[in-house]
């Protein structure tokens, strides 16, 4: 008995003692159910009470006791397993006085039990197992939250996700849907001949994105390593190696703030296709996400936070300048005027408005006035070159890159571009990033000599894309916070 236990827990501990002295193990592991609750329901579907009585279906099921209604000489248990709920009925006449009394003395809501017996329908039509045999499989010491209001304290829901999952069916459904989404994306790409790969999470150079990395240390090698901020540079090495279509679904780590859109570790899918451009990536994305929504909802439309999101292709395509002009109310031609950009950026409070390049000013203005207002899905294109050090330069306009961001409900969901495979241009871009880093930009890219060496071997022309899985799942589960779609979101140490 633990001193910190409350009265409810002490009460249950006494029951454990009673079980043990009666020769019963409170935590046995020698009984597996032959049926799931949903399987039992399916077997009895359409049968009326007389048919069930005439040709009994005998099932044995196990699950957590979510409800317990005692009536003296009979009792109902509500059992919950991975497939759903099913009611069990225990009758003293059928089970024998001693066994019945002992079981009902020891069992509590929250325990896991096994029940074996024929199915029947109660007067109110509820499918029920009439227990001929039963066993306690797991004794719970802690009580579950209240049956009607459940667990709503947000901190407890995140810290003790196991309790959240036990009592909040909607939470279980979110994570089932998350698994379905990841599985859909995986098979969508696999059937298009993409190879799934795994590349390093611990990298000597944290490349592929602009973000502050986590640092760790390898003792045997006496070497600092970075948790990856993106898999991009490794996946493109694989294009060099001859895997012309690759993808990876895995965690990235970024040492930045935490809020409803950001968790330090988050899941990305990145995919790369040789002989494709960012234009084909738009088509692929439209097809992938609209068919995903159709798979989930039966149509490429769904509700997010009270508003309809429509994934029916084709999606709107806007340049950064067009988006800034439309949502900021500027004449588009003025957005190519450096003085106007500088003045506007300054007025909007953009930092470095006096020194930033015209391209970066335009993006900053777009992000300030337009991005949050775009309902989408919208592909935003024509990003300036200095914000995209790994993207292919546009053939006609060397100041922009062949890149898009996919914006849905004001959030960046995907980022894609035609890949820069010119090793000379790439070295120049890395040099520029190094100069930014020397000026104090902690998020600028590092030089990656091995990546340049790979490019020097020849990377096929290609396009690649990354989609933030957590944000996609938020959209498709109508979740307002990223913590609602990550099983164990990052929190401070418990106080």
Using CB under 7 A, which of 76, 175, 243, 327 touches RNA? 76
Tokens of 380: 């935003």
Q: Are strands 84-91 and 127-130 parallel, antiparallel or unpaired?
A: parallel
Comparing CA positions, the residue from 484, 414, 465 lying closest to residue 261 is 484
Q: Taking the CB of residue 28, how many other CB atoms lie within 10 A of it?
A: 12
The answer to whether 417 touches 484, Cβ cutoff 8 Å, is no
Q: What region, left, alpha or beta, does residue 453 occupy, with left being phi > 0 and alpha being psi -120 to 50 degrees?
A: alpha
Judged by CB under 7 A, does residue 305 bind RNA? no
Q: Restricting to residues 387-416, which ones interact with RNA according to CB under 7 A?
A: 411-412, 415
Q: How far is the CB of 132 from RNA (least distance, A)?
A: 13
Stretch that binds RNA, among 194-202, 255-263, 289-297, 453-461 (CB under 7 A): 255-263
217 versus 493: smaller Cβ distance to RNA: 493
Using CB under 7 A, which of 22, 28, 34, 67 touches RNA? 67
Q: How far is the CB of 458 from RNA (least distance, A)?
A: 28
The residues that bridge with 65 in the sheet, in sequence order, are 79
DSSP state letter for 259: B
214 versus 330: smaller Cβ distance to RNA: 214
Cα 334 to chain centroid distance, Å, stands at 41
Q: How far is the CB of 72 from RNA (least distance, A)?
A: 3
50 versus 155: smaller Cβ distance to RNA: 155
Q: Restricting to residues 115-154, which ones interact with RNA according to CB under 7 A?
A: 120, 122-126, 128, 142-143, 145-154
Q: How far is the CB of 46 from RNA (least distance, A)?
A: 18
Q: How far is the CB of 486 from RNA (least distance, A)?
A: 9
Judged by CB under 7 A, does residue 481 bind RNA? yes
Q: Restricting to residues 8-27, which ones interact with RNA according to CB under 7 A?
A: 8, 11, 15
Tell me the site size for RNA, rule CB under 7 A: 73
Using CB under 7 A, which of 27, 71, 275, 297 touches RNA? 71
The answer to whether 292 touches 188, Cβ cutoff 8 Å, is yes
77 versus 274: smaller Cβ distance to RNA: 77
202 versus 348: smaller Cβ distance to RNA: 348
Q: Restricting to residues 179-238, which ones interact with RNA according to CB under 7 A?
A: 209-211
Tokens of 326: 């439309």
Q: Taking the CB of residue 353, how many other CB atoms lie within 10 A of it?
A: 19
Q: Taking the CB of residue 44, how many other CB atoms lie within 10 A of it?
A: 18
Question: E strands, 71-167, where?
Answer: 74-81, 84-91, 112-121, 127-130, 133-138
Q: Restricting to residues 36-65, which ones interact with RNA according to CB under 7 A?
A: none
Q: How far is the CB of 133 from RNA (least distance, A)?
A: 17
274 versus 383: smaller Cβ distance to RNA: 383
Nearest 5°: phi and psi at 392? Answer: -75, 135
**Dihedral over Cα of 308, 311, 313, 317: its sign:** positive
């Amino acid at each position: 008995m633990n001193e910190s236990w409350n009265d409810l827990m002490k009460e249950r501990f006494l029951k454990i003692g009673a079980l043990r002295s009666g020769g019963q193990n409170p935590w046995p592991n020698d009984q597996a159910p032959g049926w799931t609750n949903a399987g039992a329901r399916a077997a009895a579907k359409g049968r009326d009470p007389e048919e069930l009585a005439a040709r009994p279906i005998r099932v044995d099921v196990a699950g957590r006791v979510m409800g317990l209604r005692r009536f003296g000489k009979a009792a109902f248990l509500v059992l919950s397993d991975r497939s759903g709920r099913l009611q069990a009925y225990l009758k003293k006449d059928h089970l024998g006085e001693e066994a019945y009394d002992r079981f009902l003395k020891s069992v509590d809501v929250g325990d896991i039990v096994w029940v074996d017996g024929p199915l029947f329908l109660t007067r109110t039509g509820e499918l029920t197992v009439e227990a001929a045999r039963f066993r306690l499989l797991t004794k719970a010491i802690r009580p579950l939250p209240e049956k009607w209001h459940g667990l709503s304290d947000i901190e407890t829901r995140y810290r003790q996700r196991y309790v959240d999952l036990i009592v909040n069916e909607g939470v279980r459904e979110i994570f089932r849907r998350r698994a379905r989404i990841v599985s859909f994306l995986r098979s969508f790409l696999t059937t298009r001949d993409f190879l799934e790969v795994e590349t390093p999470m611990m990298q000597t150079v944290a490349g592929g994105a602009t973000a502050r990395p986590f640092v760790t240390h390898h003792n045997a090698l006496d070497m600092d390593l970075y948790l990856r901020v993106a898999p991009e540079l490794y996946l493109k090495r694989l294009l060099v190696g001859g895997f012309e279509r690759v993808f990876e679904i895995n965690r990235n780590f970024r040492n930045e703030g935490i809020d409803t859109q950001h968790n330090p570790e988050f899941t990305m899918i990145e995919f790369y296709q040789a002989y494709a451009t960012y234009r084909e990536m738009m088509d692929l994305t439209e097809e992938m996400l609209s068919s995903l929504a159709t798979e989930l909802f039966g149509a490429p439309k769904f509700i997010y936070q009270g508003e309809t999101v429509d994934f029916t292709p084709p999606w709107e395509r806007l340049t950064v300048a067009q988006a800034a002009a439309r949502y900021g109310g500027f004449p588009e031609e003025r957005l190519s005027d450096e003085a106007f950009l500088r003045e506007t950026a300054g007025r909007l409070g953009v930092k470095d408005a006096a020194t930033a390049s015209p391209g970066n000013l335009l993006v900053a203005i777009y992000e300030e006035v337009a991005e949050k207002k775009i309902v989408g899905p919208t592909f935003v294109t024509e990003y300036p070159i200095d914000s995209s050090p790994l993207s292919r330069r546009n053939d006609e306009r060397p100041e922009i890159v062949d890149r898009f961001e996919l914006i849905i409900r004001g959030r960046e969901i995907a980022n894609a571009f035609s890949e820069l495979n010119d090793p000379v241009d790439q070295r120049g871009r890395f040099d520029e990033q190094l100069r930014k880093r020397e000026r104090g930009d902690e998020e600028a890219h590092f030089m990656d000599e091995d990546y340049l060496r790979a490019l020097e071997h020849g990377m096929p022309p290609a396009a690649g894309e990354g989609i933030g899985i957590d944000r996609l799942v938020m959209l498709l589960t109508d979740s307002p916070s990223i913590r609602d779609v990550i099983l164990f979101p990052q929190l401070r140490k418990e106080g």
